[in-house]
Structure 1
Amino acid sequence: MRAAGPFVVLWLALAGMALAEAPKTSPRPLTRPAATHTAAQAAVILRPKHRPDAMAPSGVAPDAGPPNVAPQLAAVSMPRPHPRPDGLTAQAEQAAAAQPTPTTRGKSSKKDSRRGSVCGDPAIKGAEIPAVTSKTKGCGIADPVRVTAIDGIPFSQAATIDCDTARALKQWIREGMRPAFGNREVVKLHIFGSYMCRSRNNIRGAKVSEHGRGKAVDIAGFVFSDGKEWTVARDYNKQIRSAQKAACGIFGTTLGPGSDGYHEDHLHFDTAERRGSAYCR
Structure 2
Amino acid sequence: MLAGTAVAEAPRESLRPVIREDVFPVALPSLAPETSLRPLLRPRSLGQKVSVVPPVANRTAREVPSAVGKVCRDRDLQGTEVGHVPGKLQGCGIRRGAIKLYSVSGIPLSRPAVMECDTAYALKKWVEGGMKRSVKRYGGGVVELKVAAGYSCRTRNHKKGAKISEHGKGRAIDLSGFDLKNGDHISVLHDWGNGKKGRILKDMHRRACGPFGTVLGPNSDRYHKDHFHFDIAKHRGGPYCR
What is the Cα deviation at residue 135 of structure 1?
Answer: 3.7
Which of 148, 157, 160 is the matching residue for 1:192? 148
Query: 1:168 is aligned with what amino acid?
Result: A
What is the Cα deviation at residue 149 of structure 1?
Answer: 0.2
Distance in 2 between the 1:275 and 1:120 partners? 30
Greater RCO, 1 or 2 (C-alpha within 8 Å, sep 6+): 2
Query: 1:220 is aligned with what amino acid?
Result: S
1:119 corresponds in structure 2 to 72
Q: Which runs of 4+ in 1 moved over 6 A?
A: none
2:220 corresponds in structure 1 to 259
Distance in 2 between the 1:269 and 1:261 partners? 16
What is the Cα deviation at residue 130 of structure 1?
Answer: 3.2
SS at match of 2:190: coil
Which of 121, 138, 147 is the matching residue for 2:101? 147
1:219 corresponds in structure 2 to 175
1:166 corresponds in structure 2 to 120
SS at match of 1:169: helix
Query: 2:158 is aligned with what amino acid?
Result: N
Kindly provide the CA deviation profile for residues 173-202 of structure 1, in whole angstroms up to 9, marking residues without a partner as x.
Answer: 000001111212100000000100100011
Which structure shows the higher strand fraction?
A: 2
Greater C-alpha Rg: 1
Which ranges of structure 1 fall in alignment gaps of 5 or more residues? 1-114
> Please, what TM-score do these two structures have when normalized by structure 2?
0.68
What is the Cα deviation at residue 276 of structure 1?
Answer: 2.2
Distance in 1 between the 2:76 and 2:83 partners? 21
The size of the alignment, in residue pairs, is 167
Kindly provide the CA deviation profile for residues 56-94 of structure 1, in whole angstroms up to 9, marking residues without a partner as x.
Answer: xxxxxxxxxxxxxxxxxxxxxxxxxxxxxxxxxxxxxxx
State the superposition RMSD in angstroms.
Answer: 1.0
1:134 corresponds in structure 2 to 87
Which ranges of structure 2 fall in alignment gaps of 5 or more residues? 1-67, 193-197
Distance in 2 between the 1:277 and 1:232 partners? 25
8 Å Cα contact 2:88/2:153 also seen in 1: no
Overall identity of the aligned pairs, in %: 44
